[in-house]
Amino acid sequence: MLSSDSPEPRSSASEVAIPTGEPPLVAQPPVAATGDAVPVAQPPLVVLYQTAAFALSALLSPYLVIPAGTVGIVASQPSSKRQLILWTSLSVFFSTVTPALYVVIQILRGKITDVHVMEREQRGGPFMVAIASCFIGALVLRQIHAPPAVYSIGIVLAVNGIILSWITSFWKISMHVAVLSATVLAAIIVVPGIGVWRIVWLIPALIWARVTRKRHTLGQGMAACAVACVVTGTVLYFSINLWPRVTHKFNRAVTQIQHGPRT
């Protein structure tokens, strides 16, 4: 018999512990002396993979794709050097500079979080400014007698903006992929002698980059490409005499598939 002063017997290891309500202990990442989590080094291939995706997203940003496509399309038109500079400057100003300035001002005002307007709810204002600016630019270029292939750039961007703005109101879609797809298709149709396969690969590459960086899903990238191609093709068909060019490009693409791309 145990006296009242005798120590109580210890519980054996086999006994079930009484639940305390505390969460189970989980392994935590290494913590530095300052209390901050220590970043875990990634394998070199993973770093290279992520870096390539970031580089493609940056280089194929709409802020760079639109001016580059504009220069290529305008330069393909027969005209004087002075006209080329004037048409290019006006087109880039209305299609890129004006919308970009609006976004920067809104960022400074705290209305928009980043230059690419990643938040779907913040895209309404930039869409309206870009659509209006592109339409005005197209009218100005038409008034100064720029060829249809030049002022159609603004119409293509404006109509794409209207459709994509409507889609964005209920679903997130990739603007990066949409702008690149519209630019690539316009260049293929308008620029004589351009190598189709030399620029088409940029579209799936950009979709991969956006998905890898978790900015969009594969479906959002593919939908952006499909919408932009349909809208761009339709606008160009009605704005310039496209049918002979379309059939020529189609026949050339089929020939390249059959015999391999020309070097």
For CA atoms 117, 119, 125, 130, the dihedral sign is: positive
Structure confidence at residue 164 (pLDDT)? 93
10-residue block means of pLDDT along the chain (263 residues)?
48 47 51 57 80 92 93 90 94 94 90 79 85 94 91 93 92 93 92 85 95 92 96 86 61 71 52
Structure confidence at residue 155 (pLDDT)? 92
Structure confidence at residue 196 (pLDDT)? 83
Structure confidence at residue 184 (pLDDT)? 95
Structure confidence at residue 46 (pLDDT)? 76
**Where do the domains of the chain lie?**
44-255
